[in-house]
Amino acid sequence: MVLESEVPKKLVIGVTYTAKEIYYFLGYNDTIILCEDTPMFSDKGNSTYIVENMYETFVHRNENSNTYHIPVRKKKVYVISKN
């Protein structure tokens, strides 16, 4: 069970977070995280990550090369990197 105090409500540019905080943030918020350094986050990890940037934008995507998903609202997209 995850305590509410363990889940960040938002990520702040320039602030460092643990892999566990990122993992919980993804699980409880409708956002996208871009990270070149890590293929998967875990609540067991002890790595730290810094938030480099955040965009609030329409995310266009394609599924199975033949289905275009038209966004109905903007999403927050965070860019982070491993410390």
DSSP H or E stretch at residue 76 = strand 75-82
- How is 19-54 classified by DSSP, letter by letter? HHHHHHHHHHS-EEEE-SS-S---TT---EEEEEEE
| pTM for the whole structure | 0.88
57-65's contacts with Cβ under 8 Å and 24+ in sequence apart are 59/32
The average pLDDT across 17-27 equals 95
User: Is the pLDDT at 81 greater than 90, yes or no?
Assistant: yes
* Domain range enclosing 47: 4-82
> How far apart are the C-alpha atoms of 76 and 62, rounded to whole Å?
18
Q: Count the domains in the chain.
A: 1
pLDDT per position as a tens digit, 23-72: 999 999 999 999 999 999 999 978 999 999 999 999 999 988 889 999 99
Give the pLDDT band of residue 8 (cuts 50, 70, 90).
very high
